[in-house]
Chains A and B, each alone.
Chain A
């Protein structure tokens, strides 16, 4: 069934902008991104939006739909109240480039700060022997599609530009956790993530977990266990010493 959908889409650039009303024909079973593409094709050829896979796999089409951060390609129109316009705005935590496209370079800068995977001294050269149960915990975090919705929603940086310098954000807390839990990684990044990447600034509000389209349990499975391990290492001098010794 085809019907007319009302949309209010934020249009503008770094100097400012406003919500613009559109009405386009859509079909049953379509998603928000389809409606945005329809607007591009019939009403505003230069409407800027990022997307690639249209299947929730690439993490490109992040935006705020009716105020909620989500992937536009995984938001079915039928899940929104009929008759009311759907409001689409760019992610708020990152500077706007144009329309729905934001400057997410913050995330790529934080990625550069991660000390790479470093094989342990016991198994320096692949192929490695690792058991499925041992790789599974890290595999959960490697499902991340880098949509940066968790980064966008985290209150530590959402309205606090000043915190960005010292805070890598939930996407990278799972990256540090993933490396920490990798059965054959030989580096210890715990003090680094706590002191220099801002893990200490996180107060476990779980907003990041709620928006993750991959359903990664960012707080329960990465942040909280990481905080506990940081405490272990930092404040238990005996264990700290023993670990250091074991590494030699």
Chain B
């Protein structure tokens, strides 16, 4: 039997970003012995990169704001494919979760009367995002990290989980390795919360870090849980395009929320040419009205630059394709001519530094060059809205790895609030389940441990095989070129063929050196997850024959409310391990919530 380190807990959380830490705190507070496992050091998770803010209808700036308006905005932004109950819980509970951060020491920017200030963002009717300059994610993760440390929650840093272990049809534990030593470790636990974030590292132009390899999605699938609506991938409209080294790096939506506008090479504010029917009634159609909106929201409609992200990304894509792009293949984002240097430096300090230091562009004087970048996956593990449990007993998911909350497109600012609301729920319900088990706890089997160990060591056994870095680059090119913002049947078919070929090739990937802190080995193991998740995205994209939110088919350009608008696509593995897709009806909201969606503003 494989020799290894063992730990036993009631709840194990995988991932230490916003949702993971919030889940761990909740599980701990519910009396469960809790551990958090993370691939990086504590406090480095991708949440750190979130800039804009946390959407919560506290009504500090506009007292008309309330959870119902937030619910409506979220559902409409998601093109009505959200799970209504998740959108409801999220909108109702977000304010409490933000105040809780303040209770734990977070220092948000303030309104003149000393409350938490709230800023404008795309798709939100009112200024709603609690923020700290443009580094809100850092504030959030630091607050949660400091809280978790002060509660004495165990954190296993630089530790990667490669397999979930089961006892019959229940979760029994997790198998992983320490990055530092390469040694194996087993966590015996009846309840696991996946909080592993997204999948963006499978695309070439991405705002995501190396950690975003779809681990949680793949772990869940392989353990027998289901994924939901994986075809919906958000391309953030504004990523840096130059220099090449920073291509894809995020430029916060706050630039537009704070007055920035998009222009093409002819200097035209082209977003006015792309206002879709669905949002006509609530979007300004002249520059004058759009500009008045920043100071008077009651009597003016929103500028089209603040349409939901899918709309803006598609418009930018179309302008570039039409030959009206900037020299490096983007379009211009201009705040320099619209706001004072002082205002820009105050509101957008990290953006100011990011452009100055990485691109030698002074955003108070010149426009930025930006273009779409792979940013977020709306699809994810299928969960029960109230408890965050997946279809597998003992497996919970929260944050980006969970599906349903954001429908076909996520609004900016709804991610951080999602992490808090469903992180807490997942932690609490996982703890309830685990502590209620009594003597009937599931047991980890030695056979599964041995199999996991053999699988993890496989890349060392092969000589003269392929370099994992090369395979990764090829996968990124396939996903970028064939499963990008605009898709069609022919390209998706070809993507699936190429992914199948890559899946064969990773079986022969070789790594140099030994097990101690070996990034080549780590990548070789992550590739498995990336390929499984990429295939899920491509298959789901092939199946959904319409365009909606983060899924655009140029062979099916219309949004189809009668058929596809009522369908969730479920991804699951069959007994041979092949990826299958099936249709499942979308749950319908009760009449009183459905009525909110119809309301015109």
Contact = CB atoms under 8 A, between A and B. Distances in A.
A135 B116 CA distance: 11
Nearest to A30: B245
Nearest to A74: B357
B103 A119 contact: yes
A52 B40 contact: yes
Interface string A168-193: 00000000000100100100000000
B245 A131 contact: no
Interface stretch (B44-52, B492-500, B549-557): B44-52
Contacts of A30: 243-245
Interface of B: 40-46, 48-49, 58, 99-100, 102-105, 107-110, 113-117, 132-133, 135, 138-139, 142, 146-147, 149-150, 157, 180, 209-211, 242-246, 249-250, 350, 353-354, 357-359, 467-470, 473, 511-514, 516-521
Contact of B41 (A27, A48, A60): A60
Interface stretch (A39-47, A154-162, A202-210, A239-247): A39-47
A45 B244 contact: no
Contacts of B41: 50, 60, 104, 108
A151 to B, nearest CB: 14
A42 to B, nearest CB: 8
A34 B110 CA distance: 39
A49 B210 CA distance: 12
The 8 nearest A-B residue pairs measured at CB? A29-B243, A117-B105, A46-B513, A45-B520, A116-B150, A129-B114, A126-B102, A126-B103
A98 B516 contact: yes
A229 interface: no
B249 A41 contact: no
Interface in A137-174: 138-139, 142-146
Contacts of B514: 46
B44 A60 contact: yes
B261 to A, nearest CB: 24
A145 B105 contact: no
A198 interface: no
A221 to B, nearest CB: 15
Contacts of A41: 467, 469-470, 473
Given A47-B519, A116-B147, A40 B102 contact: no
Nearest to B470: A41
A207 B46 CA distance: 30
A127 interface: yes
Contact of B468 (A45, A51, A74): A45
Given A45-B520, A48-B517, A54-B246, A117 B104 contact: yes
A69 interface: no
A27 B244 CA distance: 8
A97 to B, nearest CB: 6
A108 B518 contact: no
Given A29-B243, A31-B245, A45 B100 contact: no
B209 A45 contact: no
A185 B107 CA distance: 11
B48 A57 contact: yes
A125 interface: yes
B424 to A, nearest CB: 15
A19 interface: no
A106 interface: no
Contacts of B358: 31, 55, 74, 76
A45 B511 contact: yes
Nearest to A116: B150
15 contacts: A27-B243, A41-B469, A45-B520, A48-B516, A52-B46, A52-B48, A53-B48, A116-B105, A116-B147, A126-B99, A128-B102, A135-B107, A135-B109, A143-B138, A182-B107
Contact of B244 (A29, A51, A55, A99): A29
Nearest to B105: A117
A144 B141 CA distance: 12
A54 B249 contact: yes
Contact of A57 (B102, B114, B138, B139): B138
A122 interface: no
Contacts of B249: 54-55
Given A40-B469, A46-B521, A49-B519, 8 more contacts: A47-B519, A52-B44, A52-B48, A54-B246, A111-B149, A126-B99, A135-B107, A138-B107
A110 B250 CA distance: 32
B512 A57 contact: no
Contacts of A45: 467-469, 511-513, 518-520
Contact of B102 (A47, A55, A127): A127
Nearest to B359: A29
B249 to A, nearest CB: 5
B228 to A, nearest CB: 28
Contact of A125 (B103, B110, B142): B103
B519 A40 contact: yes
A78 to B, nearest CB: 9
A28 interface: yes
Contacts of B157: 108
Nearest to A141: B107
B511 A117 contact: no
Contacts of A131: 110, 114
Contacts of A42: 469
A41 to B, nearest CB: 4
B43 to A, nearest CB: 6
B154 to A, nearest CB: 12
Contacts of B102: 126-128
A82 interface: no
Contacts of A142: 107, 132, 138-139, 142
A130 interface: yes
Contacts of B135: 57, 143
B517 A58 contact: no
Contacts of B147: 116
B519 A48 contact: yes
A179 B250 CA distance: 31
A204 B99 CA distance: 37
A57 B350 contact: yes
Contact of A99 (B44, B113, B517, B520): B517
B537 to A, nearest CB: 23
Contacts of B99: 126-127
Contacts of B513: 45-46
Nearest to B521: A46
A57 B49 contact: yes
Contact of A53 (B49, B114, B149): B49
Contacts of B114: 128-131
Contacts of B512: 44-46
B364 to A, nearest CB: 17
A69 to B, nearest CB: 17
B516 A51 contact: no
Given A46-B513, A48-B519, A54 B243 contact: no
Contacts of A112: 149
B93 to A, nearest CB: 15
B42 A108 contact: yes
Given A45-B469, A139-B107, A55 B49 contact: yes
Contacts of B518: 45-46, 48
Point out which of A54, A58, A182 has the most chain B C-beta atoms below 10 A from its C-beta: A58
Contacts of B354: 55-56
A222 interface: no
Contacts of A127: 58, 99, 102, 115-116
A125 B468 CA distance: 52
Nearest to A42: B469
Given A28-B243, A128-B102, A46 B511 contact: yes
